[in-house]
């Protein structure tokens, strides 16, 4: 067997093994400032609506 062909096969196997390892890893998510602000506003709005609904039920 040609040495360069043998090395190419080894490299291909290593790449394939590397891909399998990457598939097993959990994805990484980053919370950006924009999304943090969006979620904070949404949560504040939800709490305000809940408070207003509770207030309406009392009256």
State the distance between the two ends of the chain, measured CA to CA, in whole angstroms.
88
Show the tokens assigned to 55. Answer: 């207030």
- Segments making up each domain of the chain, as ranges: 3-58
**Higher pLDDT pick, 39 / 13:** 39
Global confidence as pTM: 0.48
DSSP class of residue 17 equals H
State pLDDT tens for residues 16-53.
Answer: 665 555 567 888 889 999 999 999 999 999 999 999 99
Q: For 29-58, b where at least 16 C-beta lie within 10 A, e where not — what string?
A: eeeeeeeeeeeeeeeeeeeeeeeeeeeeee
């Amino acid at each position: 067997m040609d040495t360069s062909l043998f090395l190419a096969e080894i490299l291909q196997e290593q790449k394939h093994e590397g891909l399998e390892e990457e598939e097993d890893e959990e994805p990484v998510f980053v919370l950006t400032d924009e999304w943090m602000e969006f979620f904070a506003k949404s949560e504040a709005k939800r709490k305000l609506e809940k408070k207003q609904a509770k207030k309406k039920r009392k009256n």
